[in-house]
Amino acid sequence: MKLDIVISGVGGQGSVLASRALARAAMESGLAVRTSEVIGMAQREGPVTSHIRMGDRLYGAIIPDRAADFLLGLELAETVRGLIKLKPGGTVIASLSAIVPVSVELGISKYDKDTLIQYLIEQNEKVFFLDLEELSRQSGHPRTGNAVMLGALSAFPGLPFKPEQLLRSLLSYLPQSLAEINRRAFEIGRRAVEVTLNDIN
């Protein structure tokens, strides 16, 4: 088997931590793994893209364009930016959260959230939107969006690891004091997608 996952977000959203959790879960399942991050001014909310490749025939750490099975978008505009990596028929899990760049605040450019959402819908048959801000708040901490996103991913069939294995991997990177909040965030994300998948089926 082979599975390629791209995570797109901005600095501070936990994209790298989420990629490490996915990689560890895959390795614990006996799979070969390669990962890579592209980080641009991450401490100033610049784009961060993580590539996670698992399975057979891994010839490089960077996922080629049009090859990713999943695109996990922690920020709306960055999800659109990462779309080039998704293969035809691939699945997008996109946050509705918008982190507006300084250029927008200065009036130099615009952030048209509705147009971005519409574009994602038009480009993909399999796109699932999550209100990460609201779901994170429900977990008890506003910065658990990456845990919500991993929980959402874990609801899809065909992954090479069980949801509890991915959760255990995520928690292994966090201090014990944050375990319960992130466990809750993971389950909230998982339930959010399970409801949608059940409606489809």
42 has pLDDT over 60:
no
pLDDT digits (tens, 9 = 90+) for 117-126: 999 999 988 9
pLDDT of residue 38: 84
pLDDT digits (tens, 9 = 90+) for 63-86: 999 999 999 999 999 999 999 999
Global pTM value: 0.93
Domains in the chain: boundaries = 2-199
Q: Which residue has tokens 């600095």?
A: 11
Band of pLDDT at residue 156, cut at 50, 70 and 90: very high
The CATH fold assigned to 2-199 is Pyruvate-ferredoxin Oxidoreductase; domain 3 (3.40.920)
